[in-house]
Structure 1
Amino acid sequence: MSDDDLDLAFENAEDRGRWRHAKKKGGKGRTFLAFTLVILLLGALGGVGYVGFDKVRSFFAVEDYDGPGSGEVAIEVKSGNTATDIANTLYKAGVVKSAAAFVDAAKDNPKSKDIQVGSYLLKKEMKAADALTMLLDLKNKNVNKITIPEGLISLQIFDRLSKATGIPVDDFKTAAKNPQKLGVPALWFKRKDGKKVNTSDIEGFLYPATYELPRDAKAEDVLKMIIKNFNREMDDLDFVNQAAKLNISPYEALVAASIAQVEALLPEDMGPVARVLYNRAYTGKFPCNCLQLDSTVNYWLRISGKDPKASENLLAKELHDPKNPYNYDVKGMAVGPISSPGDVALKGAIDAPKSDYFFFVTIDKKGTMGYGKTFDEHKANIQIACKNGIPLC
């Protein structure tokens, strides 16, 4: 079709003015109809109008749960976490309804900065302020808390760890067979006196302290935590370098500390007792160059599944048992630690005050130690002990 045909077609139609006018009349009708429909629609939606408004308003408001929550969920607060980091963790775990609610709660509570690193047990769908309160309460930490006192042997420690965590003792025994895998540096398994170190012996490395153990931790995880603490303590004491100044290996100093921990009852005697051990083992001035200690003999009884005995009850065959590598007659420093020494004993071992003493004995019920250079002086101290009610005579 040509352009002329289009024009003709249009010319044969109704008058243009009349068409536009008619359309205008129709527009008024349609406008009125549309207005009427809108009125009717708004009327129909009147019942839900507030709901729509509320949704719009909630878009700008902070969403928060009203209730105290229910169930249980573990939350991990990591080192360096900000309030926003913690808020996001809580939101993803379903604890709070929005991260913003927790951030606001943290802003309103000055104590929020005191939240400690660790795992916590919270509830699902909690009010943000309540979640913050639970994070500030250490009772909600998702841990098994245990204290390892000074002087225990590894078997005793495994038993305590098992009771605290529910992990079988055998699991700890198995994990403990490879101390280096748990984090003990290889340098600890060397000696300067020529004696071989048992690299599968964890004794002495289980540092006594209070630990918070994650409830889902395995035996290996627990022991790694304890060894990590041991390493940190050794660094703080500069133990390796200080032992070198005594011309002994750190392992030999650890052995001395473990013995001093058991033998000395008072903190001030840890160092002097360690010096007596060094004098006996290394100076060549003690008749047998051996330790001759009941505590080492009793250690062997313990790890052999037997009960330890009071000094006066130990038999000669037990003191000199050739099958016991910790017996009275073994020359030099003991072959290994006999306990887990604490901070004071460790310090005493690397800072043992110089003396000419070769003997020591507890002389009263307060734990006071008496020292002697000769056996006669030692016998005199034993008599003092007996007079003070110490059962040695």
Structure 2
Amino acid sequence: MIGEIEDLRYEDNPDPGRWRHRKKEKGGRSVVTFVLVLVLFGVLGGGAWYGYDKVSGFLSAADYDGPGSGEVIVEVKKGEYASDIAETLFAAGVVKSAAAFVEAAKDNPDSTGIQVGSYKLRKQMKASDAVLMLLDRKNLAVNGVVIPEGWTKMQVFAAFSEYTGIKVEEFEKAAKDISKLGVTSTWLKRTDGKKVDKSNIEGFLYPATYEIPKKTTATDILKLVIKNFNAEMEKLDFAATAQSKLKISPYEALVAASITQVEALLPADMGPVSRVLYNRAYSGDFPCGCLQLDSTVNYWLRLNGKQGKSSEKLTIDEMHGENNPYRYNAPGMSIGPISNPGEIALKGAIDAPKSQYFFFVTIDKKGTMAYGKTFDEHNANIKVACKNGIPIC
């Protein structure tokens, strides 16, 4: 295997098999939906929306058949078309296709009662169930701080600060020792010889909606979040599974989940992407034994108050600078999480299907990924992506 991909070594290739940074498109994922949904009108003083499908032959819309899992926040905005809402739900991983939601809304006459606002829904839901949840006012997220999947600690602190008036610096101070906030010793050790930084709360700020008491402190809020993290990890049996199935520490699996949350767009890719990370870091068959990720480099830039960059704009020094512990060619699994992963990414990290893949790349505008064992296979997948209009070439 090593001989097959020897050309990936940094000494011979200054850009060793870079995993291209994906740019999320803001439209065009389901153009057919915009064509089919022709009419929009507001009722109840402009607080509700409904879009009617006026075209016959709108058949076989891809749909999930289950109730879904986890939690995700979506916003219904005033003046949006049904197709706009459907696109939002699809992008958030709630429905399998925008078309399925449009059909479900059309088939439910009560959908005219859906109001604008932010709603707590589930991932991978049947479209008709999503309509019902949007109709239930109990699912409105109005009394707390919403922490989306994939946010960094900096973003989380800023959101809590804005909501409570407590300075960001107070949250940073409160997070100096995560063991005092409820993070147990299980999470404070690794199996790969690296140390867990107890002053780094990244990865433990579980995405959810948090209701904050009126009289509270930064420490109280972070303890509340960690309590929820512990409860969710217990439900997933995350720590035990990481140790027994993957033979790594729960923290290392958490790091993988945090990277996967950033790298993978679709739920189906969470597990396979995590496995690529494990193959690179632990298999011994990848030449550098490193992750080679733009996402970790960009996290380091953000930690230092800079903006993240697309792949082609990252400099060699930014990618490989020895002062950067999240650098492109740092050996093994990353030194720490780069985001706060949600349930699906966490499940993917502990249920990663075995494979011999070392590469992945997004190949279409739906977010589908293709995987490769060698650099040549990876380049072939990149050509497919380019043909499909993905801006990575």
Greater relative CO, 1 or 2 (CA 8 Å, sep 6+): 2
The structure carrying a bigger helix percent of its residues is 1
Matched residue, 2:343? 343
1:388 and 1:166 mapped to 2: Cα distance? 46
Post-superposition CA distance 1:150-192 (Å, at most 9, x none):
0011001000111111111111111011111110002201000
Matched residue, 2:147? 148
Contact 1:144 1:164 in 2 (8 A): no
SS of match in other structure, 1:214: coil
Q: How does 1:1-393 map to 2 (within 5 A)?
A: 144-244=143-243, 245-393=245-393
Contact 1:360 1:372 in 2 (8 A): yes
SS of match in other structure, 1:360: strand
1:390 CA displacement: 1.7
Post-superposition CA distance 1:40-61 (Å, at most 9, x none):
xxxxxxxxxxxxxxxxxxxxxx
1:175 and 1:305 mapped to 2: Cα distance? 20
Q: Which amino acid counterpart does residue 294 of structure 2 have in structure 1?
A: D
Post-superposition CA distance 1:315-353 (Å, at most 9, x none):
122111111001111110000000000000000000100
2:202 and 2:332 mapped to 1: Cα distance? 19
2:138 and 2:384 mapped to 1: Cα distance? 50
Post-superposition CA distance 1:271-291 (Å, at most 9, x none):
000000000000100010100
Post-superposition CA distance 1:131-161 (Å, at most 9, x none):
xxxxxx989x9x9511100001100100011
SS of match in other structure, 2:144: strand
Question: Root-mean-square deviation (CA), in Å?
Answer: 1.6
2:160 and 2:138 mapped to 1: Cα distance? 20
SS of match in other structure, 1:370: strand
1:234 and 1:198 mapped to 2: Cα distance? 20
Contact 1:312 1:391 in 2 (8 A): no
Q: Which amino acid counterpart does residue 378 of structure 2 have in structure 1?
A: H
Q: Which has the larger radius of gyration?
A: 1
1:206 CA displacement: 0.3
Q: Which amino acid counterpart does residue 208 of structure 2 have in structure 1?
A: A
Q: Which amino acid counterpart does residue 218 of structure 2 have in structure 1?
A: A
1:380 CA displacement: 0.7
1:368 and 1:315 mapped to 2: Cα distance? 28
Q: Determine what percentage of the aligned residue pairs are the same residue.
A: 67
1:384 CA displacement: 1.3
2:310 and 2:214 mapped to 1: Cα distance? 39
2:256 and 2:367 mapped to 1: Cα distance? 19
> Gaps (5+ residues) in structure 2?
1-136
1:298 and 1:276 mapped to 2: Cα distance? 19
Q: Which amino acid counterpart does residue 259 of structure 2 have in structure 1?
A: I
SS of match in other structure, 2:297: helix
Post-superposition CA distance 1:172-220 (Å, at most 9, x none):
1110111111100022010001111111110100000011110111111
1:146 and 1:388 mapped to 2: Cα distance? 38
TM-score by length of 2: 0.63
* Aligned pairs, number: 255
1:257 CA displacement: 0.2
Matched residue, 1:87? none
Consecutive aligned runs of 4 or more in structure 1 exceeding 3 Å deviation: none
Contact 1:144 1:215 in 2 (8 A): no
2:160 and 2:206 mapped to 1: Cα distance? 13
Post-superposition CA distance 1:239-282 (Å, at most 9, x none):
11100121000000000000000000001100000000000000
1:144 and 1:171 mapped to 2: Cα distance? 22
1:168 and 1:317 mapped to 2: Cα distance? 34
